[in-house]
């Protein structure tokens, strides 16, 4: 039986009928639909619309549907179901007879889909935070393992200053921790229950909304039925959070691709996550990284598409809202698919630390440290900068590094240079002067690793708390 055929004189155009369905993709909401329906059924019993026996048979029917979906192959293949709500109603009536049709009393699919989607996003957030904590851990572990290995840090993709490899990896941990934080924030805002909002004006029966919210572990209620049935902000917000996470992953992927090129040679691509070429026998390609970069484009596209879908809609429910589901699922699937692979890649990758160390010392990465030497001897910073710039110019002419200039050469530039200057140019000394919180001095990096690990631990704790909530 259709959910709405009473007032129609003509059957639907079959092509249109198929085309407007959402069951192909919203069937994945079945578990949430069953949970929300259970809460609604209990609320109906509490106000006397269902008898105790009717409630029991409805709850048993809902449970059976869940079990069959989990075990019976092909059960969720249904050529008639318009959407997941229709599917449940149909199956329930098939299982328990006409009493199944009582379940829809006082409610609308508009509040149901709003509820199911909130439950879906809430669960996706919890899973994503768990995956993100694994990614952070993989990065933090590599940071720790890297010890005192150094590499050049780049600005404008030109050698800038040496940093510890661990310091570089911790930069990514910071980005991912912010992403996890944004997910928590998004979760807080979406965790409100729309049940009882009806089609647009509120339920037509005096349902206990607090009771239903508690049944589904929502922290509170939506405050306005018009907003509740038309709001998809939480989807847009979530997919935007994922876009930003994608931006971080994509920057990482891009950097790794550059660093794995023959020209850089900092990163040796793990074979388990690379592919070859069907034509060129020598190739080992960074496919995982390229797909991370590529799939991020899809997620960003999803966020842009959702924005456009929502921007022209008058209040309240419009069928356009059905179109928010696929980009949502696609974004969540893309991220959930790639995060474990990113963690795996990070565990498997090898860094050529000899090459990185060597690169860290070339291209005048100690020039600012050299200028700092003069500053510490009272030379005004602008002048010191100028003199070291001249020293670099001399080096470029002679094709050498600053430490290869003689004291004579240097004293011609400024009298403050002494033999001790050469000490401050050594790699370890250059690293050591960046001795501020968040800087690359080895002790600071060790503190940074410890702090990151504490943050990762508390992320894991929160994930556990929500999982048991
Ligand atoms: N499949 C629909 C959706 O995803 C469910 C809500 C239908 N509501 C309606 N008034 N037609 O949006």
pLDDT at residue 468, as a whole number: 61
| Residues belonging to the active site | 156, 277
Q: Which residues make Cβ contacts (< 8 Å) with residue 61, sequence separation at least 6? A: 91, 92, 95, 96, 100
Crossing angle of helices 233-260/287-311, nearest 10°? 160
User: What is the pTM (predicted TM-score) of this model?
Assistant: 0.96
**pLDDT at res. 3:** 77
Class of residue 26 by CB neighbours under 10 A (exposed 0-12, middle 13-18, buried 19+): buried
What lies within 8 Å, CB to CB, of 181 at 6+ separation is none
For a mutational test of ligand 1's pocket, the pick from 110, 115, 198, 327, i.e. the residue with the most ligand atoms closer than 8 A to its C-beta, is 110
Taking alpha carbons only, the member of 241, 136, 229, 227 closest to residue 188 is 241
206 token code pair? 């005096």
Q: ω before 316 within 30° of 0 (cis)? A: yes
- Mapping DSSP to helix (H, G, I), strand (E, B) and coil, where does residue 192 land? strand
> 228: alpha, beta or left, given left = phi > 0 and alpha = psi -120 to 50?
alpha
Shortest-distance atom of ligand 1 to CA 83? 1
Alpha-carbon distance of 178 to 360, in angstroms, equals 29
Ligand 1, residues at Cβ distance < 6 Å:
22, 26, 83, 109-110, 113, 317, 319, 321-322
- Is 64 within 8 Å of 127 (Cβ atoms)? no
* Distance of alpha carbon 423 from alpha carbon 152, whole angstroms: 19
Helices 325-348 and 109-145 pack at an angle, to 10 degrees, of 10
Per-residue pLDDT of the chain (469 residues; tens, 9 = 90+): 777 777 887 898 999 999 999 999 999 999 999 999 999 999 999 999 999 999 999 999 999 999 999 998 899 999 999 999 999 999 999 999 999 999 999 999 999 999 999 999 999 999 999 999 999 999 999 999 999 999 999 999 999 999 999 999 999 999 999 999 999 999 999 999 999 999 999 999 999 999 999 999 999 999 999 999 999 999 999 999 999 999 999 999 999 999 999 999 999 999 999 888 888 888 889 999 999 999 999 999 999 999 999 999 999 999 999 999 999 999 999 999 999 999 999 999 999 999 999 999 999 999 999 999 999 999 999 999 999 999 999 999 999 999 999 999 999 999 999 999 999 999 999 999 999 999 999 999 999 999 999 999 999 998 888 876 6
Q: How far apart are CA 191 and CA 122, in angstroms?
A: 7
Residue from 29, 85, 89, 319 whose mutation best tests the ligand 1 pocket (most atoms within 8 A of CB): 319
């Amino acid at each position: 039986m259709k959910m709405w055929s009473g007032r129609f004189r003509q059957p639907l155009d079959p092509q249109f009928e198929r085309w407007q369905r959402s069951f192909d993709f919203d069937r994945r909401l079945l578990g949430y639909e069953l949970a929300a329906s259970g809460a609604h059924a209990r609320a109906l019993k509490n106000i006397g619309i269902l008898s105790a026996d009717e409630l029991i048979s409805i709850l048993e029917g809902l449970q059976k549907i869940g079990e069959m979906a989990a075990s019976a192959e092909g059960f969720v293949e249904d050529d008639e179901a318009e959407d997941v709500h229709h599917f449940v109603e149909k199956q329930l009536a098939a299982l328990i007879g006409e009493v199944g049709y009582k379940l829809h009393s006082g409610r609308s699919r508009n509040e149901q889909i709003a509820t199911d989607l909130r439950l879906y996003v809430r669960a996706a957030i919890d899973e994503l935070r768990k995956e993100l904590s694994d990614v952070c851990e993989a990065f933090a572990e590599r940071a720790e393992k890297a010890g005192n290995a150094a590499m050049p840090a780049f600005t404008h993709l030109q050698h800038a200053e040496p940093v510890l490899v661990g310091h570089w990896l911790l930069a990514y941990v910071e980005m991912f921790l912010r992403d996890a934080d944004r997910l928590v924030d998004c979760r807080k805002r979406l965790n409100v229950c729309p049940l009882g909002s009806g089609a647009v004006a509120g339920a037509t029966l005096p349902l206990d909304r607090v009771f239903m919210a508690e049944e589904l572990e929502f922290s509170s209620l939506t405050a306005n039925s018009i907003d509740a049935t038309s709001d998809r902000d939480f989807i847009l917000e979530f997919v935007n959070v994922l876009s930003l996470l994608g931006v971080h992953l994509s920057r990482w992927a891009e950097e790794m691709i550059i660093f794995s090129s023959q020209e850089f040679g900092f990163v040796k691509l793990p074979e388990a996550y690379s592919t070859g070429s069907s034509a060129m026998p020598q190739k080992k390609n960074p496919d995982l990284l390229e797909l991370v970069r590529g799939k991020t484009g899809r997620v960003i596209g999803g966020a842009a598409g959702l924005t456009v879908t929502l921007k022209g809609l008058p209040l309240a429910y419009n069928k356009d809202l059905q179109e928010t589901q696929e980009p949502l699922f696609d974004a969540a699937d893309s991220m959930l698919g790639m995060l474990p692979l990113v963690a795996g890649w990070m565990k498997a990758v090898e860094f050529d630390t000899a090459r990185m160390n060597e690169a860290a010392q070339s291209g005048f990465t100690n020039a600012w440290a050299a200028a700092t030497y003069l500053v510490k001897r009272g030379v005004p910073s602008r002048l010191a900068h100028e003199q070291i710039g001249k020293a670099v110019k001399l080096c470029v002419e002679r094709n050498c590094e600053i430490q290869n200039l003689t004291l004579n050469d240097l004293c011609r530039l400024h009298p403050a240079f002494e033999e001790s200057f050469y000490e401050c140019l050594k790699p370890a000394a250059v690293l050591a002067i960046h001795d501020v919180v968040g800087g690359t001095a080895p002790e600071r990096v060790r503190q940074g690793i410890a702090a990151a690990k504490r943050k990762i631990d508390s992320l894991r704790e929160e994930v556990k708390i929500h999982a048991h909530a």
